[in-house]
Copies of this chain bind each other. A is one copy, B any other.
């Protein structure tokens, strides 16, 4: 139990943790309610369930902003000689309290209303591919985001305030530096691939049909290979793959089965396994405390991308598991390791971000970042966005969406008011390579580790460097402690150029 954790010795911090327990329990319950909604909830339960979500979320906020909680956190800030865990608890709660208390209740209420309505309208707009339907809502959402930047405040750039909400301490400047380094080299890499005689727009394995039960068994085999702890987790089906760390001892991932293109289900499972392993390997002594969760979206994504890109899309991984793949996907008897490896890493300019490959993925994010920043700065207008989107797609990805459903309307994020969220995906992709390089320095090459099935060693390393800390450190501090350096796109770019040079004979 949290209040007995040996990691927390300071009396004030113990009081804070105890005072926070109800908030933590409400978060735990909401996570289960959310997981259930996507997996087993009967469909007509949705309205009643929505009332529950609303109440629990308001209750959580009320407890967080209670006089007692705020006073305790203020007291905690004045404490001397806190250990890292204790300091992390104060930092985490102070941050959460500030995010809420700086927003006036009328603003929060309006935001919630606009978000609720926007999601409904966005669905209809995307279905009809009619941007004009969604436009007034998107305008409103960007206006509200601008207002939020004023309430929250910022030092350099208003967009910083939005970034920080999703990734503590992330600055517009950081994202610009990152993209300025990767944009030209990835665009160049993509152009070379498109010009290569090896380029293929489609791969026959994309159309190969599988039995869903066999796909499920293969995914389970992979989870067992990675030693996923089923005594502390579950693996279910949902419309969109996701992972929920309900608690440290209850982490659930899901996948979906499209019936063909087996890499989608397999790599999504490996991706979610990365998220799940992070949530599961948080130090148990932090259970039920405010730091018992992943530190940020970007660092979380680095863990899923590490497993998906650095292991799942690795040639050795394909090689040593080829027989396993063939057992469950019998059509693979007609394909070689090289075929499957190339299929796993097929590069082509797709319209849809969630279907993108390693080479194009960050360009998709770049477009969203440039648009969000442009609108927040007042340099772009909402009604120009479909055109701007299409121009940027052509510029970075050499393809133009035939309609807005496949363009500016494709993502749910904006309709939920999540502006400033997208860059965390790129951060994760870049950090994943840095973690891989550092891990290889400590444990030897990933190829050798994969050959020897040393997944436990890989997980232990990630636990030690990243997972066990929960949100004790800020994302930037955690990265520096783990890697000895801050986020840096160079290893990612080198990895990409080397890998795809070989794959496409560039």
Which A residues lie at the B interface, using CB under 8 A? Answer: 1-2, 21-22, 24-26, 28-30, 32-33, 36, 40-45, 47-49, 51-52, 55-56, 58-59, 229-234, 246-250, 287-288
Contacts and interface: CB of A to CB of B under 8 A. Distances in A.
B288 A42 contact: no
A40 B248 contact: no
A249 B32 contact: no
B1 A42 contact: no
The 8 closest A-B pairs by CB, nearest first: A25-B55, A45-B250, A29-B29, A48-B247, A44-B231, A45-B249, A25-B52, A48-B249
Contacts of A250: 41-42, 45, 48-49
A49 B229 CA distance: 17
A22 B248 contact: no
12 contacts: A22-B58, A26-B56, A29-B56, A32-B36, A42-B230, A44-B229, A44-B232, A44-B249, A45-B232, A48-B287, A48-B288, A51-B287
B22 A59 contact: yes
A29 B52 CA distance: 8
Contacts of A51: 1-2, 21, 25, 287-288
B42 A233 contact: yes
Contacts of A229: 44
Contacts of A47: 249
Contacts of A52: 25, 28-29, 247
A344 to B, nearest CB: 30
A55 B233 contact: no
B234 A40 contact: yes
B42 A234 contact: yes
A49 B231 contact: no
Given A32-B32, A42-B232, 12 more contacts: A2-B51, A21-B51, A22-B59, A29-B29, A29-B32, A36-B36, A41-B250, A44-B229, A48-B247, A48-B249, A48-B288, A51-B288
A21 B55 contact: yes
Contacts of A32: 29, 32-33, 36
A17 to B, nearest CB: 12
A387 to B, nearest CB: 41
Contacts of A40: 40, 234
A59 B230 contact: no
A288 B2 CA distance: 32
Contacts of A42: 230-234, 249-250
Contacts of A231: 42-44
Contacts of A232: 42, 44-45
Contacts of A234: 40, 42
